[in-house]
Amino acid sequence: MTLLTIATTQMPCTWDLPGNLDQAERLVREAAEKGAQVILLQELFATPYFCIEQSHKHMALAEEYRDSRVLARFAALARELGVVLPLSWFERAGNACFNSLAVADADGRLRGVYRKTHIPNAIGYQEKEYFSPGDSGFKVWDTAFGRLGIGICWDQWFPETARCLALMGAEVLLYPTAIGSEPGCAALDSRDHWQMTMRGHAAANLLPVVAANRVGKEVATTDPSLQMTFYGSSFICDHKGKLLVEADRDSAGVLVRRLDLGAMREERLSWGIYRDRRPEMYGALLTQDGRNLHARWNTGGV
């Protein structure tokens, strides 16, 4: 695949769960009508962002991979439209639950599961209440329209995620997301920082990046004073981090762009950033504190 037409989307979500799915389907159909071959929906698009609060009643939203009505519906839609759909959903697996994603290929087949690696815990982002840390390892999928590397929301802040996906052969990096205001710090607006971090991944790895965020205000069911406003701003950038298209903070909608993956591949080769890597020098990345534990205790140093 040399030329890829790709779309990102954004939408508000409510407790009208069938309505969320209908809205997501409308966006997918709109993107397909505009020629998109790969269409990215936001993180946990089937529900409100229930992680705004800690409430065990939300565990009932989780679905097993093989029995998920969300995955079945959108895999059938992918087959009907001949498009690729990365699908974020709340996965139940035995006694564990995960923030997961499956890729529906253009023939409607599901290509397996990625489970979110990095799980945040902050006021308004209480994901450790619901999700176990992912055990799938990072995933890259060969699809009808290219080789896709996908991380989920908090994963996008870690350069290790992007580099691992790049080393695994991803041609595009995609990040479904749910991010907005910070109930623990009302003055913080992370929108520009959020975008710049992912654009940096694009530039550092010479890979285009696509992000899909939600919009709208959501209120906790247990405490109405706990509210979040998601800031949208979904975007597509090229392999050097240049913004190609960007959504606003408030509106549901679809953005579509064509990417020349062949030309981008040639530029990656010309820069030599993968040729000149020194993996044997990156041992600090395998530690929590940047030091070699065995050497530290043998020398008495810190």
Residues identified as active-site:
43, 116, 153
Torsions phi, psi for 95 (to 5 deg): -90, 0
DSSP E strands: which ranges in 132-212?
A: 140-143, 146-150, 172-176, 209-212
Residue 182 in tokens:
């910070």
Distance (Å, whole) CA 202 – CA 162: 8
Distance (Å, whole) CA 301 – CA 289: 13
Sequence-distant (6+) residues with CB within 8 A of 38 are 4, 5, 6, 7, 83, 84, 85, 86, 143, 145, 146, 148, 172, 174
